[in-house]
Structure 1
Amino acid sequence: MSITASATVHSPGSLARRIFNAALGIAAAILALGGLEARAAPQAQTETERRNKATVEAGFDAWATGTGSPYDLLADDVRWTIEGYSLASKTYPSREAFLREVIRPFNARMKAPLKPVIRNVYADGDTVIVFFDARGIARDGKPYVNTYAWFLDMRDDRIVRASAFFDSVAFNDFWTRVTPSE
Protein backbone atom coordinates (compact mmCIF):
# COMPACT_ATOMS: atom_id res chain seq x y z
CA MET A 1 0.00 0.00 0.00
CA SER A 2 1.32 3.44 -0.78
CA ILE A 3 0.04 6.83 0.20
CA THR A 4 0.46 9.73 -2.19
CA ALA A 5 -0.31 13.22 -1.05
CA SER A 6 0.44 16.73 -2.16
CA ALA A 7 -0.14 20.14 -0.71
CA THR A 8 0.56 23.70 -1.66
CA VAL A 9 2.96 25.01 0.95
CA HIS A 10 3.96 28.66 0.94
CA SER A 11 6.94 28.48 3.29
CA PRO A 12 8.80 25.64 5.07
CA GLY A 13 7.51 26.67 8.49
CA SER A 14 4.00 27.60 7.45
CA LEU A 15 0.97 26.57 9.43
CA ALA A 16 -0.43 24.77 6.38
CA ARG A 17 2.65 22.54 6.19
CA ARG A 18 2.58 21.76 9.90
CA ILE A 19 -1.12 20.88 9.77
CA PHE A 20 -0.62 18.78 6.63
CA ASN A 21 2.34 16.91 8.16
CA ALA A 22 0.52 16.31 11.44
CA ALA A 23 -2.50 14.96 9.59
CA LEU A 24 -0.31 12.76 7.40
CA GLY A 25 1.49 11.32 10.44
CA ILE A 26 -1.77 10.61 12.23
CA ALA A 27 -3.25 9.05 9.08
CA ALA A 28 -0.19 6.81 8.68
CA ALA A 29 -0.48 5.66 12.30
CA ILE A 30 -4.20 4.95 11.92
CA LEU A 31 -3.58 2.99 8.71
CA ALA A 32 -0.85 1.02 10.43
CA LEU A 33 -3.11 0.27 13.38
CA GLY A 34 -5.96 -0.81 11.11
CA GLY A 35 -3.70 -3.06 9.05
CA LEU A 36 -2.25 -4.70 12.15
CA GLU A 37 -5.69 -5.35 13.60
CA ALA A 38 -6.92 -7.02 10.41
CA ARG A 39 -3.80 -9.18 10.12
CA ALA A 40 -3.51 -10.12 13.80
CA ALA A 41 -7.20 -10.78 14.58
CA PRO A 42 -7.33 -14.50 13.68
CA GLN A 43 -4.06 -15.37 15.44
CA ALA A 44 -3.71 -16.16 19.12
CA GLN A 45 -1.18 -14.01 20.96
CA THR A 46 2.11 -15.57 21.93
CA GLU A 47 3.32 -15.54 25.53
CA THR A 48 5.79 -12.76 24.61
CA GLU A 49 3.01 -10.66 23.10
CA ARG A 50 0.76 -11.16 26.14
CA ARG A 51 3.60 -10.28 28.53
CA ASN A 52 4.70 -7.20 26.56
CA LYS A 53 1.13 -5.94 26.22
CA ALA A 54 0.44 -6.47 29.94
CA THR A 55 3.70 -4.72 30.90
CA VAL A 56 2.88 -1.64 28.81
CA GLU A 57 -0.74 -1.56 30.01
CA ALA A 58 0.50 -1.68 33.63
CA GLY A 59 2.76 1.30 32.89
CA PHE A 60 -0.20 3.23 31.49
CA ASP A 61 -2.39 2.25 34.46
CA ALA A 62 0.32 3.59 36.80
CA TRP A 63 0.46 6.81 34.76
CA ALA A 64 -3.33 7.24 34.89
CA THR A 65 -3.39 6.77 38.68
CA GLY A 66 -0.31 8.91 39.33
CA THR A 67 1.77 6.05 40.74
CA GLY A 68 4.27 5.70 37.89
CA SER A 69 4.45 5.84 34.11
CA PRO A 70 5.42 3.92 31.01
CA TYR A 71 8.68 5.89 31.14
CA ASP A 72 9.63 3.67 34.08
CA LEU A 73 9.92 0.89 31.46
CA LEU A 74 12.56 2.67 29.38
CA ALA A 75 15.87 0.91 28.95
CA ASP A 76 18.83 3.17 29.74
CA ASP A 77 19.89 3.04 26.08
CA VAL A 78 16.39 3.44 24.59
CA ARG A 79 16.18 5.25 21.25
CA TRP A 80 12.98 7.33 21.44
CA THR A 81 11.99 9.07 18.20
CA ILE A 82 9.34 11.76 18.07
CA GLU A 83 8.22 11.63 14.46
CA GLY A 84 7.03 14.57 12.39
CA TYR A 85 7.69 18.27 12.69
CA SER A 86 7.07 19.23 16.30
CA LEU A 87 9.58 21.33 18.19
CA ALA A 88 10.64 18.12 19.99
CA SER A 89 10.86 15.92 16.87
CA LYS A 90 14.13 14.02 16.72
CA THR A 91 15.67 10.80 18.02
CA TYR A 92 16.77 10.83 21.65
CA PRO A 93 19.68 8.40 22.17
CA SER A 94 19.03 7.48 25.80
CA ARG A 95 16.47 7.42 28.59
CA GLU A 96 18.13 10.34 30.33
CA ALA A 97 18.28 12.48 27.17
CA PHE A 98 14.58 11.90 26.46
CA LEU A 99 13.52 12.61 30.06
CA ARG A 100 15.77 15.69 30.33
CA GLU A 101 14.84 17.26 26.98
CA VAL A 102 11.15 16.34 26.68
CA ILE A 103 9.40 14.76 29.67
CA ARG A 104 10.70 16.93 32.52
CA PRO A 105 10.20 20.21 30.59
CA PHE A 106 6.75 18.98 29.53
CA ASN A 107 5.74 18.16 33.12
CA ALA A 108 7.16 21.52 34.30
CA ARG A 109 4.64 23.21 31.99
CA MET A 110 1.68 21.38 33.55
CA LYS A 111 -0.52 22.52 36.43
CA ALA A 112 -2.50 19.24 36.52
CA PRO A 113 -0.62 16.22 35.17
CA LEU A 114 -1.31 14.63 31.82
CA LYS A 115 -3.63 11.61 32.15
CA PRO A 116 -3.86 8.97 29.42
CA VAL A 117 -6.95 7.12 28.25
CA ILE A 118 -6.11 4.15 26.05
CA ARG A 119 -8.22 3.60 22.95
CA ASN A 120 -6.48 0.34 22.09
CA VAL A 121 -3.29 -1.65 22.57
CA TYR A 122 -1.89 -4.02 19.96
CA ALA A 123 0.96 -6.51 20.29
CA ASP A 124 2.83 -8.09 17.42
CA GLY A 125 5.98 -9.98 18.31
CA ASP A 126 8.21 -7.68 20.35
CA THR A 127 6.27 -4.56 19.31
CA VAL A 128 3.43 -3.00 21.30
CA ILE A 129 1.38 -0.19 19.76
CA VAL A 130 -0.59 2.06 22.09
CA PHE A 131 -3.25 4.36 20.63
CA PHE A 132 -4.38 6.82 23.31
CA ASP A 133 -5.68 10.24 24.19
CA ALA A 134 -4.18 12.35 26.96
CA ARG A 135 -5.28 15.52 28.65
CA GLY A 136 -4.12 17.76 31.44
CA ILE A 137 -4.11 21.42 32.47
CA ALA A 138 -1.19 23.65 31.56
CA ARG A 139 0.30 26.17 33.99
CA ASP A 140 -1.59 28.94 32.17
CA GLY A 141 -4.88 27.23 33.08
CA LYS A 142 -5.67 26.06 29.54
CA PRO A 143 -6.22 22.37 28.77
CA TYR A 144 -3.63 20.40 26.85
CA VAL A 145 -5.29 17.63 24.83
CA ASN A 146 -3.61 15.37 22.30
CA THR A 147 -3.93 11.96 20.64
CA TYR A 148 -0.91 9.68 20.42
CA ALA A 149 0.23 6.49 18.73
CA TRP A 150 3.36 4.95 20.23
CA PHE A 151 5.17 2.03 18.58
CA LEU A 152 7.24 0.40 21.33
CA ASP A 153 9.85 -2.30 20.74
CA MET A 154 10.28 -4.41 23.87
CA ARG A 155 13.10 -6.60 25.18
CA ASP A 156 13.16 -8.19 28.65
CA ASP A 157 10.16 -6.11 29.81
CA ARG A 158 11.88 -2.87 28.78
CA ILE A 159 11.20 -0.39 25.98
CA VAL A 160 14.33 -0.38 23.82
CA ARG A 161 13.05 1.64 20.86
CA ALA A 162 10.03 3.90 20.36
CA SER A 163 8.42 5.92 17.59
CA ALA A 164 5.84 8.42 18.81
CA PHE A 165 3.22 10.19 16.69
CA PHE A 166 1.01 13.05 17.90
CA ASP A 167 -0.56 16.34 16.80
CA SER A 168 2.46 18.60 16.54
CA VAL A 169 0.34 21.75 16.12
CA ALA A 170 -1.24 21.25 19.57
CA PHE A 171 2.13 20.32 21.07
CA ASN A 172 3.99 23.29 19.55
CA ASP A 173 1.33 25.72 20.75
CA PHE A 174 1.62 24.35 24.28
CA TRP A 175 5.45 24.17 24.20
CA THR A 176 5.85 27.80 23.12
CA ARG A 177 2.91 29.27 25.06
CA VAL A 178 3.69 27.86 28.51
CA THR A 179 6.87 28.62 30.44
CA PRO A 180 8.18 25.71 32.53
CA SER A 181 8.28 26.14 36.30
CA GLU A 182 11.69 26.21 37.91
Structure 2
Amino acid sequence: MLANLKSRTRQVFGAALGVAATALALVAIQPEANAQGSSETEGRNKAAIQSSFDAWRAGTGSPYDLLAVDARWTIEGLSIASKTYPTKEDFMREVIRPFNARMQSPLKPTIRSLYADGDTVVAFFDARGVARDGRPYVNTYAWFLDMRAGQIIRASAFFDAIEFNELWTRVAPATGTN
Protein backbone atom coordinates (compact mmCIF):
# COMPACT_ATOMS: atom_id res chain seq x y z
CA MET A 1 0.00 0.00 0.00
CA LEU A 2 2.80 2.36 0.97
CA ALA A 3 4.60 1.48 -2.27
CA ASN A 4 1.45 2.24 -4.26
CA LEU A 5 1.05 5.59 -2.46
CA LYS A 6 4.68 6.51 -3.16
CA SER A 7 4.29 5.51 -6.79
CA ARG A 8 1.06 7.50 -7.12
CA THR A 9 2.68 10.52 -5.40
CA ARG A 10 5.57 10.36 -7.85
CA GLN A 11 3.11 10.23 -10.77
CA VAL A 12 1.09 13.21 -9.47
CA PHE A 13 4.26 15.14 -8.60
CA GLY A 14 5.74 14.32 -12.03
CA ALA A 15 2.55 15.45 -13.74
CA ALA A 16 2.52 18.64 -11.67
CA LEU A 17 6.14 19.28 -12.61
CA GLY A 18 5.26 18.72 -16.26
CA VAL A 19 2.37 21.21 -16.05
CA ALA A 20 4.59 23.72 -14.23
CA ALA A 21 7.35 23.31 -16.81
CA THR A 22 4.84 23.81 -19.63
CA ALA A 23 3.43 26.91 -17.92
CA LEU A 24 6.92 28.35 -17.44
CA ALA A 25 7.75 27.66 -21.06
CA LEU A 26 4.58 29.45 -22.18
CA VAL A 27 5.33 32.44 -19.94
CA ALA A 28 8.86 32.57 -21.34
CA ILE A 29 7.56 32.44 -24.92
CA GLN A 30 4.72 34.95 -24.39
CA PRO A 31 6.89 38.11 -24.23
CA GLU A 32 8.67 37.00 -27.40
CA ALA A 33 5.32 36.43 -29.11
CA ASN A 34 4.11 39.85 -27.95
CA ALA A 35 7.34 41.45 -29.09
CA GLN A 36 7.05 39.74 -32.46
CA GLY A 37 3.42 40.86 -32.83
CA SER A 38 4.35 44.38 -31.78
CA SER A 39 7.32 44.34 -34.15
CA GLU A 40 5.08 43.26 -37.03
CA THR A 41 2.56 46.01 -36.19
CA GLU A 42 5.33 48.59 -35.95
CA GLY A 43 6.75 47.47 -39.29
CA ARG A 44 3.37 47.67 -41.03
CA ASN A 45 2.56 51.06 -39.53
CA LYS A 46 5.98 52.50 -40.33
CA ALA A 47 5.79 51.18 -43.91
CA ALA A 48 2.32 52.72 -44.39
CA ILE A 49 3.55 56.12 -43.21
CA GLN A 50 6.73 55.88 -45.32
CA SER A 51 4.66 54.99 -48.38
CA SER A 52 2.28 57.91 -47.76
CA PHE A 53 5.22 60.33 -47.49
CA ASP A 54 6.71 58.91 -50.70
CA ALA A 55 3.36 59.53 -52.44
CA TRP A 56 3.23 63.05 -50.98
CA ARG A 57 6.72 63.81 -52.25
CA ALA A 58 5.77 62.43 -55.70
CA GLY A 59 2.54 64.44 -55.75
CA THR A 60 0.36 61.32 -55.91
CA GLY A 61 -1.05 61.25 -52.38
CA SER A 62 -0.26 62.18 -48.79
CA PRO A 63 -0.42 60.94 -45.21
CA TYR A 64 -3.85 62.60 -45.02
CA ASP A 65 -5.12 59.78 -47.23
CA LEU A 66 -4.56 57.48 -44.23
CA LEU A 67 -6.77 59.51 -41.89
CA ALA A 68 -9.82 57.70 -40.56
CA VAL A 69 -13.05 59.64 -41.06
CA ASP A 70 -13.23 60.27 -37.31
CA ALA A 71 -9.50 60.92 -36.84
CA ARG A 72 -8.66 63.59 -34.26
CA TRP A 73 -5.79 65.85 -35.35
CA THR A 74 -4.29 68.20 -32.77
CA ILE A 75 -1.97 71.02 -33.74
CA GLU A 76 0.03 71.67 -30.60
CA GLY A 77 1.48 74.99 -29.53
CA LEU A 78 0.49 78.54 -30.30
CA SER A 79 -0.01 78.71 -34.05
CA ILE A 80 -3.09 80.33 -35.57
CA ALA A 81 -4.35 76.83 -36.34
CA SER A 82 -3.54 75.25 -32.94
CA LYS A 83 -6.48 73.25 -31.63
CA THR A 84 -7.97 69.77 -31.92
CA TYR A 85 -9.91 68.99 -35.08
CA PRO A 86 -12.43 66.24 -34.25
CA THR A 87 -12.73 64.75 -37.74
CA LYS A 88 -10.71 64.35 -40.92
CA GLU A 89 -13.06 66.70 -42.78
CA ASP A 90 -12.78 69.42 -40.11
CA PHE A 91 -8.98 69.27 -40.31
CA MET A 92 -8.89 69.21 -44.11
CA ARG A 93 -11.43 72.07 -44.43
CA GLU A 94 -9.94 74.34 -41.76
CA VAL A 95 -6.20 73.72 -42.23
CA ILE A 96 -5.01 71.65 -45.17
CA ARG A 97 -7.13 73.07 -47.99
CA PRO A 98 -6.59 76.71 -46.92
CA PHE A 99 -2.88 76.01 -46.48
CA ASN A 100 -2.58 74.44 -49.94
CA ALA A 101 -4.55 77.36 -51.40
CA ARG A 102 -1.77 79.65 -50.15
CA MET A 103 0.87 77.69 -52.05
CA GLN A 104 2.13 78.20 -55.59
CA SER A 105 3.92 74.86 -55.52
CA PRO A 106 2.97 72.13 -53.05
CA LEU A 107 4.99 71.14 -50.04
CA LYS A 108 7.56 68.43 -50.58
CA PRO A 109 8.52 66.53 -47.44
CA THR A 110 11.93 65.13 -46.62
CA ILE A 111 11.85 62.65 -43.78
CA ARG A 112 14.67 62.96 -41.30
CA SER A 113 13.53 59.87 -39.39
CA LEU A 114 10.58 57.62 -38.69
CA TYR A 115 10.12 55.84 -35.37
CA ALA A 116 7.54 53.22 -34.48
CA ASP A 117 6.46 52.03 -31.07
CA GLY A 118 3.44 49.75 -31.04
CA ASP A 119 0.59 51.55 -32.78
CA THR A 120 2.37 54.93 -32.78
CA VAL A 121 4.59 56.25 -35.56
CA VAL A 122 6.60 59.43 -35.13
CA ALA A 123 7.52 61.25 -38.34
CA PHE A 124 10.24 63.89 -38.04
CA PHE A 125 10.55 65.77 -41.32
CA ASP A 126 11.20 69.00 -43.17
CA ALA A 127 8.83 70.37 -45.79
CA ARG A 128 9.46 72.98 -48.46
CA GLY A 129 7.24 74.73 -50.96
CA VAL A 130 6.67 78.10 -52.59
CA ALA A 131 3.86 80.39 -51.47
CA ARG A 132 1.57 82.21 -53.91
CA ASP A 133 3.64 85.39 -53.40
CA GLY A 134 6.74 83.58 -54.71
CA ARG A 135 8.45 83.33 -51.32
CA PRO A 136 9.62 79.96 -50.00
CA TYR A 137 7.91 78.25 -47.11
CA VAL A 138 10.17 75.96 -45.09
CA ASN A 139 9.23 74.28 -41.84
CA THR A 140 10.20 71.32 -39.68
CA TYR A 141 7.54 69.01 -38.30
CA ALA A 142 7.16 66.21 -35.76
CA TRP A 143 3.96 64.21 -36.06
CA PHE A 144 2.90 61.60 -33.51
CA LEU A 145 0.47 59.31 -35.35
CA ASP A 146 -1.64 56.70 -33.57
CA MET A 147 -2.72 53.99 -35.98
CA ARG A 148 -5.31 51.25 -36.08
CA ALA A 149 -5.89 48.86 -38.98
CA GLY A 150 -3.68 50.89 -41.32
CA GLN A 151 -5.40 54.20 -40.62
CA ILE A 152 -4.37 57.23 -38.58
CA ILE A 153 -6.92 57.62 -35.80
CA ARG A 154 -5.19 60.36 -33.78
CA ALA A 155 -2.38 62.79 -34.43
CA SER A 156 -0.42 65.42 -32.55
CA ALA A 157 1.55 67.78 -34.77
CA PHE A 158 4.40 70.07 -33.75
CA PHE A 159 6.02 72.68 -36.03
CA ASP A 160 7.50 76.19 -36.10
CA ALA A 161 4.38 78.27 -35.37
CA ILE A 162 6.13 81.55 -36.23
CA GLU A 163 6.87 80.35 -39.78
CA PHE A 164 3.35 78.94 -40.17
CA ASN A 165 1.63 82.06 -38.79
CA GLU A 166 3.72 84.31 -41.01
CA LEU A 167 2.61 82.43 -44.12
CA TRP A 168 -1.02 82.20 -42.96
CA THR A 169 -1.30 85.97 -42.40
CA ARG A 170 0.90 87.10 -45.32
CA VAL A 171 -0.66 85.06 -48.12
CA ALA A 172 -4.37 84.96 -48.85
CA PRO A 173 -5.72 81.66 -50.16
CA ALA A 174 -6.52 81.47 -53.84
CA THR A 175 -10.23 82.12 -54.32
CA GLY A 176 -12.59 79.24 -54.94
CA THR A 177 -10.36 76.62 -53.30
CA ASN A 178 -12.18 75.97 -50.02
Task: Settle same-fold status: TM greater than 0.5.
Answer: yes
Matches within 5 A, 1:41-80: 46-80=39-73
Distance 2:77 2:99 in 1: 18
Distance 2:170 2:66 in 1: 30
Structure 1 residue 82 corresponds to structure 2 residue 79? no
Q: Deviations over 1:129-175 (max 9, x none)?
A: 00000000000000000000000000000000000000000000000
The partner residue of 1:157 within 138, 144, 150 is: 150
Match of 2:14 in 1: none
Distance 1:173 1:108 in 2: 15
Match of 1:147 in 2: 140
Residue identity opposite 2:61 in structure 1: G
Q: Secondary structure at the match of 2:79?
A: coil
Match of 1:34 in 2: none
- CA radius of gyration, larger in: 2
Match of 1:179 in 2: 172
Aligned residue-pair number: 140
RMSD: 1.1
Q: Gapped runs of 5+ residues in structure 1?
A: 1-42
Matches within 5 A, 1:1-182: 46-182=39-175
1:108, distance to aligned residue in structure 2 (A): 0.2
Q: Secondary structure at the match of 1:80?
A: strand
Q: Secondary structure at the match of 1:46?
A: helix
1:84, distance to aligned residue in structure 2 (A): 0.1
Q: Deviations over 1:82-115 (max 9, x none)?
A: 0000000000000000000000000000001000
1:77, distance to aligned residue in structure 2 (A): 0.3
Question: Identity rate of aligned residues, in percent?
Answer: 71
Distance 2:48 2:158 in 1: 21
Distance 1:144 1:153 in 2: 27
Distance 2:90 2:155 in 1: 14
Residue identity opposite 2:90 in structure 1: A
Distance 2:123 2:138 in 1: 16
Distance 1:126 1:181 in 2: 37
Residue identity opposite 2:59 in structure 1: G
